Amino acid sequence: MQYTGGKNGSGVYQSIINLMPKHYVYIEAFLGSGAILRNKKAAVRNIGVELDEKVLMSLWRGSDFELYNESFFDFLILDNFHFHFNNRKTLIYADPPYLKSVRSSKNKLYNFEMMSEAEHFELLTKLKSLDCNVMISGYDCDFYNEHLNGWRKSHFWTTNRAGSRVEETVWLNFPEPFELHDYQFLGDDYRQRERIKKKRKRLKQRLLKMDKFERLALMATVEEIKNSAADRNTVFGDVR
């Protein structure tokens, strides 16, 4: 699905999904074509927020997701947002229109733009005030680095609409997670993702062929290792 600024390209949505901690509520702000929402493992609640009604009508007709046709700023001040969503069981992924200063094209690309630093400052200020997990996409720049000081950053390469190689940046307000929400795209590139996928398939086939109690014993061992690692991370303050 082609959409200006969308994360539909190979290796793009996969890289972003691979950063996501386990969550029960997922909110995708500035939804657009919603490549992340469409491709990631579903949460208990799956919410998209998009101001452009034409985008919702053309790309999301008949969707089973919870969709809000309003600005993300208005969504954040809904009475039920802080009651239901402002906690560490919620993950917000925001992919706003990028700052004008970092774009290769200075032309208007969307019906509703955010080209000024003042608009981005308002967005970052609101996101920093939240108690939930937040991820924000953009191009690395001094403005975001200054206002998101202390946030973790992740980088990956992609191709922009002009066909040029560019480095995407994701700012995250949480440490590297102990457990991911979705493992289906694990790997740094296509070859690695395919290798891991085949390895998981072979392991699954081996487990299914085992005696039931032997299989359960191995699964119990994995759970013991997982719980032991979680305890160590909690002691050192690595999980929230």
Helices then strands (H, E): number in the chain? 9, 7
Q: What is the mean pLDDT of residues 69-82?
A: 84
**Same domain? 113 vs 29:** yes
Q: What is the mean pLDDT of residues 3-15?
A: 79
Per-residue pLDDT at 227: 81
Q: For residue 103, give its domain range.
A: 12-172
What are the start-end ranges of the E strands in the chain? 25-29, 45-49, 66-68, 90-94, 133-138, 152-159, 165-172
**CA-to-CA distance for 236 and 86, rounded, in angstroms?**
25
Per-residue pLDDT at 239: 35
Q: Compute CA 143 distance to the chain's CA centroid, rounded to the nearest angstrom.
A: 21
**Same domain? 128 vs 194:** no
**pLDDT (tens digit per residue) in 216-232:** 999 999 888 888 766 65
| Structural domain contains residue 200 | yes
**Same domain? 87 vs 161:** yes
Per-residue pLDDT at 235: 38
**Same domain? 32 vs 96:** yes
Q: Return the residue matching tokens 């069981």.
A: 89
Q: Compute CA 232 distance to the chain's CA centroid, rounded to the nearest angstrom.
A: 26
Q: Is 193 within 8 Å of 15 (Cβ atoms)?
A: no
Q: What is the mean pLDDT of residues 74-88?
A: 81
| Structural domain contains residue 149 | yes
**pLDDT (tens digit per residue) in 177-195:** 989 999 999 998 889 999 9
| Structural domain contains residue 182 | no
**Same domain? 72 vs 133:** yes
| Structural domain contains residue 184 | no
pLDDT band, very low/low/confident/very high, at 5 (cuts 50, 70, 90): low
Selection from 76-85, 133-142, 222-231 with the highest mean pLDDT = 133-142
The CATH number of residue 79's host domain is 3.40.50.150
| Structural domain contains residue 207 | yes
Mean pLDDT score across all residues of the chain:
87
Given a cut of 70, is residue 102 above it in pLDDT? yes
**CA-to-CA distance for 31 and 93, rounded, in angstroms?**
9
**Same domain? 168 vs 195:** no
Question: What's the total number of domains in the chain?
Answer: 2
Closest to 69 in 3D by CA, of 54, 82, 90? 54
| pTM of the model as a whole | 0.86
| Structural domain contains residue 180 | no
**Same domain? 113 vs 221:** no
pLDDT band, very low/low/confident/very high, at 84 (cuts 50, 70, 90): confident
Per-residue pLDDT at 223: 87
**Same domain? 197 vs 86:** no
**Same domain? 108 vs 54:** yes
**pLDDT (tens digit per residue) in 149-170:** 999 999 998 876 667 788 999 9
| Structural domain contains residue 181 | no
**Same domain? 141 vs 210:** no
